[in-house]
Amino acid sequence: MAIDAPALLPFDEATARLLSAGSPFELTEEVVLGETMSVYKTRVRSLREMLEQSAVHGNKDYIVFSDGRRWSYTQHLADVASVAAALREQYDVQKGDHVAILAANAPEWILSYWATVSLGAVVISMNGWWAGDEIRYGLDLSKPKLLLADRRRIERLGEMEGEVGVPVVCFEDDFESLRTYSQGAALPTDSIDEDDPCLLLFTSGTTGRPKGALVSHRTLVAFTMSSFFIGARRSMTEPQPGKSGAVLAPFPLFHLSGTMGSTTASLAGGGTTVWPMGRFDPAKIIELSLKEDITSWNGATTHMFRLIDHPDMEKLDTSRFTSVGVGGSATTPELLRTIGERFPHLKQTVGSGYGSSETGGLVSYANTEMLREAPNCVGPPLPTVEIKIVDEGGTEVATGDVGRVCARSPLVMLEYLNNPEANAENFLPGRWIDTGDLGRMSEGKLYIESRMRDMIIRGGENIYPAEIENRIELHPDVAEVAVHGVEDRELGQRVKAVVVPGGGCSPTQDSIREFCAESLAYFKVPEIIEIRREPLPRNATGKVMKHVLVGAGENTFVEE
């Protein structure tokens, strides 16, 4: 006899039920870093406690990598305990110490992450795409006690100025001795407070250098709870497509979506994540999806388009998929339409979260209905999150008016590490964080009007033009430069540089690209370069008017 599916609830009713007394998501008020906030009443108090509880999942796969290596929850817990013991006894890593990880996605990255936070130490999550100067900056800012890296990044250390200055553990050569150091070891038992730091995420800044957003155990626990809340509400408000299998994990581990989402939240939920290694290859992802029973794809807009547009999609039974989600970049109307065509049973279940490293990864969540209503709708604030819109002076504006989006919650970062100027600029009284985004509130939902002024989001990576402009201005043949994003279906945006040559000079596209590549990660190197014969347009205060440049074609020569 067929069993009827449970009746779906209205969005607001489902929210109320999930937050009611006795629910796993019941809220209470507590003082967090001096401010009274809503928090989840029933929660673990540290990542180590979360890790300990993962033992209940036993021999179920936790992580699977495309090179064939896999870890069950039981084996993962044992290996993490061994690595933690080795870090303490061989490298004297103690509570509060910084341990930097500089590597491509690999099992060693995840084992190192959990071992470090279990010690009460702090993971310095360094961008694996950085060039030598950027690595030097990250090390100088974070001052780690130990650097864990793969061979390719160790070779890149030679591009840096000066010595590394700390011991270096090579994943390929040295890590196995850490993993097998103390089989049968127990996890550390040092006390960990909820507000102790555990992870440093590097985020681009308007000064042209990335800032280090220092987050706490409380941040990652709250992020995980909010992720579960989103899933629970979706199960009550959206048609459920079937039995879930494994989840694709394409984000770099140094990205918050990789560390906080695919690693931390997945462990807490007992899920299986499958990690492709190397450059993103849609054909290999599709093959991996068939092999490992992946039924959920998560990724940036660029990942989704490259997968959906690939001819090997015909090999997949798309009706088996239970979720296609977008993170790290905005969900576009065309992506919604394309997902609806390829996954017709999921066309009402596509959603998108809004957040940043500074806000702990999650501020709000928009379901399909909200995204179809307005592409810039990012939904109502999640539980424990408060949002206010302020003017340039910090005064709250009227509902519906556009202003700077500010958020406060237990997820918000502790601080920008060693950057008092940025902390003073971005924190408002009461631990409100100014996201820098422009937005408005309407009927309880947040709408983003502009992402951090002129920030470029390429394939889910945040790029600030100032850093690229600062580099190109050093080119001996360049007098002026302005960098902005160009809309792109696959990547979301591509980097474009508008260059005015110095007198009598004729810089080429290749020379500028090569100059940029010497000190910038590859995704920041301009893909489009426009050589402009006239000075850049500027306002009365001397600032370049980039909106005039976007789409301008007069007096220009574009090298494609």
Answer yes or no: is 195 within a domain.
Answer: yes
Distance between CA 138 and CA 213 in Å, rounded? 12
187: its two tokens: 């996890």
Contacts of 311 (CB under 8 A, 6+ apart): none
Give the helix/strand (H/E) hosting 112. Answer: helix 107-118
Last residue of a domain, one of 215, 232, 264: 215
Q: Does residue 349 sit within a domain?
A: no
Give the list of residues 6+ apart from residue 66 with CB closer than 8 angstroms, or none: 274, 275, 276, 277, 278, 284, 288
Contact (Cβ atoms closer than 8 angstroms) between residue 72 and residue 58? yes
In this prediction, residue 536 carries a pLDDT of 87
Asked, for residue 86, whether it belongs to a domain, the answer is yes
Burial class (CB in 10 A: 0-12, 13-18, 19+), 30: middle
- Alpha-carbon distance of 273 to 65, in angstroms, equals 9
Enumerate helices (H) and strands (E) in the chain, giving the number of each.
18, 29
Residue 510, domain CATH: 3.30.300.30
For tokens 């899920």, what's the residue? 271
d(CA 324, CA 330): 14
Which of 178, 198, 215 represents a domain boundary (last residue)? 215
Say what the pLDDT of residue 438 is: 83
**Which of 182, 215, 248 marks a domain boundary?**
215
Whole-angstrom distance, CA of residue 339 vs CA of residue 325 = 10
Judge whether 425 lies within some domain.
Answer: no
> Would you state the pLDDT for residue 349?
86
Total number of domains constituting the chain = 2
Is residue 243 in some structural domain?
A: no
User: Which residues are bridge partners to 122 per DSSP?
Assistant: 98
Task: Evaluate whether residue 344 is within a structural domain.
Answer: no
Residues facing residue 483 across a β-bridge: 497
* Residues 148/151/154/159 CA torsion (nearest 10 deg): -150
Going residue by residue through the chain (560 aa), what tens digit of pLDDT does each one get? Answer: 344 556 899 999 999 999 999 999 999 999 999 999 999 999 999 999 999 999 999 999 999 999 999 999 999 999 999 999 999 999 999 999 999 999 999 999 999 999 999 999 999 999 998 999 999 999 999 999 999 999 999 999 988 888 899 999 999 999 999 999 999 999 999 999 999 999 999 985 434 678 999 999 999 999 999 999 999 999 999 988 888 899 999 999 999 989 999 999 999 999 999 999 998 899 999 999 999 999 999 888 778 888 998 999 999 999 999 999 887 666 777 788 889 899 999 988 888 889 999 999 999 999 999 988 888 899 999 999 999 999 989 999 999 998 899 999 999 999 999 999 999 999 999 999 999 888 899 999 999 886 656 778 888 887 878 788 878 988 999 988 999 999 898 888 999 999 999 888 889 999 999 999 999 999 999 999 999 988 888 754 456 778 788 755 433 333 33
Structural domain boundaries, residue 491: 456-559
203 in any annotated domain: yes
pLDDT given at position 461: 84
Q: What is the reported pLDDT for 539? A: 53
Distances (CA, A) of 133 to 100, 139, 159, 257, 516: 16, 10, 7, 25, 12
190 lies in a domain? yes
Of 123, 260, 117, the C-alpha closest to 190 is 117
Q: Cα–Cα distance between 258 and 264 in angstroms, integer?
A: 9
Using an 8 Å Cβ cutoff, are 259 and 253 in contact?
yes
Q: What is the DSSP string of 286-318?
A: HHHHHHTTEEEEEE-HHHHHHHHTSGGGGGS-G
CATH number at residue 115: 3.40.50.980
CA distance 512 to 472: 7
